[in-house]
Structure formats: C-alpha cells, structure tokens
Amino acid sequence: MSKVKTAKSVLITGCSAGGSGSALAEVFQKRGLHVFATARTLSKMSHLKDLPNVTLLELEVTSSQSIAAALDAVNAQTDGKLDYLVNNAGQSMVMPALDTDIEEAKKLFDVNFWGVHAMTQAFAPLVIAAKGTIVNICSISGYVNAPWMSKLTSWSTIAVYYGFLRSLLILWTNIGFYGASKAALMSQSETMRLELAPFQVKVLAVVSGVVDTNIMSHGDNWKLPPGSLYSKVSEAIEARATGADVNPSQKMDAAKFANKVASDILGGASGRTWRGSIASMVWLLTLLPTSLMDKAMLSATKVE
C-alpha cells in the first residue's frame, strides 16, 4: 500500500452503501482527506472504490483480529497517525424488553458499545500522535425512552398536551436495548472526552436524529414471539421495526447530515453535537419533567 499523500486522514466504520458512514466517506473525500472506509464486506463499498484518496478495508468491529489487521494497514500508510476516528458502525433492534432474546441483545451491545470501545482502544495511539478527534455516532434513542412508535406520533401528542410542538414530526426512536446501547455509548463518550483531554485529543458524540439510511432494512421478517404480552399492539411495534411509521419527507438526507457532521468535526467540535431531523427538538424535550414525557409517550405508543 502507498503512503497517504493528503494532509489529514480519517477512518470511518460502517461504510456500506445506503448508510451514513458511506455519506461521511464521500464528504470527507471531497474535502481533501484520505479516507479509510471500512465495512464487514468489501463488496458493499464498491461504490467508493474508484474515488481518489479512498482506501477500502474489511473490518468487523467485534473481531480483535479484524481490528488488528485494519490497524496495521492504517499504521503503514500514515506513519502511525490518524487525525479522525469515526465510530459509525451499528445495528438496530426493535422488540419489547420482556420479549427480547438476551443473547441477541448482547450481540447488539457488542457492536454498538463494545465494538466502539475496542476500536477506540486500538486506534488511540494513532489519534494521540495526531492530536486528533474520536467521533462516536450516537442517537436520540439514547435520550427518549419510547417503547415504540405508532402512527400517531409522540410529537403530535405532546403538542396537544403542551401546545408548543405543532409540526407533524415523527420520532425516529428504536426501543429498549438499542436506546440503552446508545445511552451507554453517550456516557462513555463523555468519560473518554475527559480522559483523553490531557493528550490533546477531542471526543465528539454525534446525537443523530432522523436520517435517510437503510438501518431499518432488515426488519421485514420481524414478529413478536408467541404469547407476547404486547400482541394487541403488534402492528404498531412492527411499523417501528420496519420503518413503516416514518414519512420519507421527514428524514434528513444522508449527504446533508454528513456535511453537517463533517463541518462539526473539521471545525474542532468536542462534547456533543445534535444533527439530523428533529434532533434539536429532542434536546428541548429532554428539559421537560419526566412525568410529562412519560404521559405523552404512553399515550402515543399505546402502552396504556
């Protein structure tokens, strides 16, 4: 492999076509960085292979061997420096907590939390050498404890109750363990921000709102287990699992999202940034008393 010729470099996980990682890879490449685009399967990044200053790497964030191989490849091309590490790879899960298979939930955390930390541990020396930035893609799901979403959105319900959210907005929230994994990642991001500050490394948590990606594309075979206590509202949960409850016009285009996030990163941001449709609205809602949010969520999601 040849040496990186650009001034700055970035490694992004989860760059399969149709996702925010892919959009981020294209934006960073256009802005003059050398991009290490990674995914579990190289063929899913074929749309990036002919772009200049882009290196495609096969990477499974739950595999220490795969991470080590990627680290060696980046190390060899950058002389031991990496300016930006973007931990974007993740997966979703939509299922009531009582019906969730514990082993499947552990696999979710392996990707969404432990995989991120494994990448951070492995690449930290390169980022420290560059006095760079570690970016973790989090989610509004880590802030709003919505069981699931019916087509009567929590936003319209809250507007009725409190009279200040009049827009027809749909909350892009995955239930239960997905939100828990993203909340854990947010907390760890804040801890790492403080721990890495002495080494002049920034840590940025991107709280992602509604973005037009294919994250819900694997929900076609979704179903509640037999005997579920939530069978009466299975249609509402299934709509959340498949993404059918979201109007495409209410999603932020992935390229627009990527441009905003890239500007945050290259502008030296640290801490938290809220990007994607309704992300800033969720930030406002976190200021509400828990009892008011609970009332709105229970009504909107038909748990009552």
Complete DSSP assignment for 179-207: HHHHHHHHHHHHHHHHHHGGGT-EEEEEE
Residue at 299 is within a domain? no
Instruction: Give the Cα separation of 204 and 235 in Å (integer).
Output: 37
Residue at 261 is within a domain? yes
Residue tagged active-site, from 81, 178, 202, 230: 178
In which band, very low, low, confident or very high, does the pLDDT at 108 lie, cut at 50, 70 and 90? very high
Residue at 289 is within a domain? no
Report which of 175, 84, 173 is spatially closest to residue 123, judged by C-alpha positions. 84
Instruction: Give the Cα separation of 140 and 179 in Å (integer).
Output: 8
Write out pLDDT tens, residues 48-93: 999 999 999 999 999 999 999 999 999 999 999 999 999 999 998 8
Report which of 109, 64, 116 is spatially closest to residue 124, judged by C-alpha positions. 116
Mean pLDDT over the full length of the chain = 83
Does the pLDDT at position 272 exceed 70? yes
Task: Report percent pLDDT > 70 for the chain.
Answer: 73
Residue at 152 is within a domain? no
Residue tagged active-site, from 44, 182, 202, 251: 182
List CB contacts of 118: < 8 A, sequence separation 6 or more: 61, 62, 64, 67
Whole-model pTM? 0.83
Domain range for 45: 9-145+173-222+253-277
Instruction: Give the Cα separation of 74 and 216 in Å (integer).
Output: 31
Overall size of the chain counted in residues: 304
Residue at 293 is within a domain? no
Residue at 128 is within a domain? yes
76 phi/psi in degrees, rounded to 5: -65, -35
97 phi/psi in degrees, rounded to 5: -55, -40
Instruction: Give the Cα separation of 228 and 280 in Å (integer).
Output: 35
> Among 62-66, 192-196, 217-221, whose mean pLDDT is lowest?
217-221
Residue at 41 is within a domain? yes
Active site residue 182: yes
211 phi/psi in degrees, rounded to 5: -130, 140
Q: How many domains does the chain have?
A: 1
Write out pLDDT tens, residues 84-101: 999 999 998 888 888 889
pLDDT of residue 17: 94
Looking up residue 192, the CATH number of its domain turns out to be 3.40.50.720
Residue at 301 is within a domain? no
CA distances from 260 to 51, 126, 265 (A): 21, 25, 9
Whether 89 and 61 have beta carbons less than 8 Å apart is answered as yes
